[in-house]
Amino acid sequence: MLYSDIGFGVAFANVCIILVLLSIYWQNYRKWKSQYTIGLLVFGIFLLIQNILSLGFLGPPSPPPGPPMANPIDLPLLLINISQLVALATLLRISYK
């Protein structure tokens, strides 16, 4: 359950960073009308969809009857979301000037 809770927080942070990046890319597109910026917007939208779906998998499930059991996908999803967080934070640092 701990991995799921941390993973949910990291996935939420990823969604927030992606939204900031999308706003930066949209402002850049309005300024320069570049095809490259359109590609960044499309990529960002798909990445946003993937992270929103990840939030659904990491969200708190309804408790089953009996003792709580760890979900075997919680740790791998947490590691994926942490690696995305590092990559997105780096991209945000580079994009935000």
Whether residue 86 lies inside any domain: the answer is yes
Whether residue 83 lies inside any domain: the answer is yes
Rounded to an integer, what distance in angstroms lies between the CA atom of residue 77 and that of residue 58? 8
Whether residue 67 lies inside any domain: the answer is no
End-to-end, the C-alpha distance of the chain in Å comes to: 38
**Structural domain range at position 39:** 2-59+74-95
Domain count along the chain: 1
Rounded to an integer, what distance in angstroms lies between the CA atom of residue 30 and that of residue 46? 20
List C-alpha distances in Å: 40 to 43, 45, 66. Answer: 5, 9, 47
In the chain, the amino acid numbered 43 is: F
pLDDT in tens, the chain (97 residues): 678 788 889 999 999 999 999 999 999 999 999 999 999 999 999 999 999 988 887 666 655 655 555 677 778 888 999 999 999 999 999 987 6
Whether residue 46 lies inside any domain: the answer is yes
Whether residue 68 lies inside any domain: the answer is no
Whether residue 33 lies inside any domain: the answer is yes
Helix (H) or strand (E) holding 34: none
**pTM for the model:** 0.83
